[in-house]
Homo-oligomer: A and B are copies of this chain.
Amino acid sequence: MTAAGRAGTTVDDLAEGLHQAVLDLLPASHDDPDLGDFVRLMRDYPARAGKRVRGRLVLRSTAAHGGDPAAALVVAAALELFQNWVLVHDDIEDDSEERRGLPALHRSVGIPIALNVGDAMHVYMWAALFDLRTQVGFDADAIRREFVWMIHRTAEGQHLDLTWVAQGRFDVSEDAYLAMVRRKTAAYTVTSPLRLGAHASGRAPHPALPSVGERLGAAFQIRDDVLNLQRSDGNLYGKEFAGDLYEAKRTLVLAHALAHASSAEADEAIARLRPPREQRSEDDVRWLLDLFERRGSLRYAQERAEALAEAALEELEAIVSELPGRDASRALLTELQRLTRRVS
């Protein structure tokens, strides 16, 4: 078996341990019994089942770049911890009902406690990254800079999204939606995981990774939006069905439908989306889903995601073909391919 082959096996083993590695970045208990609950709340989201897509990508990218995925495990875990604290805050911002099949944290403990728990989780992420030391084949400073860049991009994208909501704006073009998603999702879902793998191997990331990552990340988010609107009897998709419509989220599906609706339909759609979430009825959601069906918006979004992904994957294939970890590069491409075609 080649070294790359062994590295491929190791990545799968390491990925299995990612769930625990994330929890290991957080305290297991507190010596003050009054704060036992605080620790339990920090561990709540990380303990829930998740796909840990981004952490796995870090491990695979490290192997592809010829680095040691075991040394990158804590980086992958820190990225997953980022995802978890951001979700605690996002769920407040979107007033989401569920997360991974259970109530969103702020729905069970209230906004104030959940917000503070998210802040504490955020600091444990940085604490893990501080402990990393730069050495040959591992650029800890570049890893920390990547996290700074990534979180800023994510926060900027989130700001654009939240501003549309706050201003009650629904006239969001496909271009504006994609620009938002490039910041909000693509940076931390694809670009940064790929680049973190390079840094964790002591290699300079390929300069085209952001462009590839933006398109793959957009494809991932569009697929996520489509899945949210497809009811699956087998409960393949854990997130609350059509939660995005209850939350009146701006998605590519909605942008397409509004752009192709009659003016009367568009007015009615917006009238149904504008009121606050608690006033939105099942009837509103059904009407909107019917509109999407009539205008072929789900299908359009899915095809757009596939087109974005296909071109980007081709480009990425050329990039990773020059990396030392050949089998690992293949596994990385397969993983990214799966992401934009996933059914859950």
A residues neighboring B (CB under 8 Å): 30, 32, 34-35, 37-38, 86, 89, 92-94, 109-113, 115-117, 119-120, 122-123, 126-127, 130, 141, 144-145, 148, 151-152, 155-156, 158-160, 162-163, 165-166
Pick the residue among B35, B86, B130, B151 that contacts A159 (CB under 8 A).
Answer: B35
Given A130-B145, A130-B148, A148-B127, does the pair A117, B35 have CB atoms closer than 8 Å?
Answer: no
A111: chain B residues at CB < 8 Å are 92-93, 111
Q: Which residue of B lies closest to A27 (CB)?
A: B152
Known: A123-B151, A152-B123. Contact between A112 and B165, CB under 8 A?
yes
Given A35-B160, A151-B123, A159-B38, the answer on whether A115 and B144 have CB atoms closer than 8 Å is: no
Candidates B34, B38, B89; contact of A116 at CB < 8 Å: B89
Give min CB distance, A300 to chain B, whole Å: 25
What B residues does A126 contact at CB under 8 A?
126, 148
Q: Name the residue among A32, A89, A112, A130 with the largest chain B CB count within 10 angstroms.
A: A112
A153 CB → nearest B CB, Å: 10
A75 → B minimal CB distance (Å): 15
Q: Which residues of B contact A116 (CB under 8 A)?
A: 89, 93, 155, 158-159, 162
Q: Taking the nearest CB of chain B, how far is it from the CB of A99, in angstroms?
A: 16
A32 to chain B, nearest CB (A): 8
The one of B34, B86, B112, B122 in contact with A162, judged by C-beta atoms closer than 8 angstroms, is B112
**Would you give 13 A-B contacts (Cβ < 8 Å), ordered by A?**
A35-B159, A37-B159, A38-B159, A93-B111, A110-B166, A113-B162, A113-B166, A116-B155, A116-B162, A117-B159, A123-B155, A127-B148, A130-B144
- Tell me what chain A mostly uses at the interface: helix, strand, loop, or mixed: helix
**How far does the alpha carbon of A92 sit from the alpha carbon of B118 in the complex, in Å?**
14
Determine if B123 and A148 form an interchain contact, defined as CB atoms under 8 angstroms apart.
Answer: yes
A163's partner among B37, B156, B159 (CB-CB below 8 A) is B37
Chain B contacts for A92, CB-based, 8 A = 111-112, 115
In the complex, which residues of chain B have a beta carbon less than 8 angstroms from the beta carbon of A151?
119-120, 123
By the criterion CB–CB under 8 Å, are B156 and A35 in contact?
Answer: yes
**Shortest CB–CB separation between residue A83 and chain B, in angstroms?**
13
Of B93, B120, B144, the residue contacting A155 (CB under 8 A) is: B120
Q: In the bound complex, how far is the Cα of B130 from the Cα of A151, in angstroms?
A: 15
In-complex Cβ contact of A34 among B110, B148, B160 (8 A): B160
CB distance from A108 to the nearest CB of B (A): 11
User: Least Cβ distance of A295 to chain B in Å?
Assistant: 27
Contact of A115 among B115, B145, B163 (CB under 8 A): B115
- Contact indicator A89/B109 (Cβ below 8 Å): no
Q: Is the CB of A115 within 8 A of B93?
A: yes
A48 → B minimal CB distance (Å): 20
Cα–Cα, bound, A123→B153 (Å)? 11
Tell me the smallest distance from the CB of A148 to a CB of chain B, in Å: 5
* A38 contacts across to B, CB distance below 8 A: 155-156, 159
Give complex CA distance A89, B158 in Å: 17
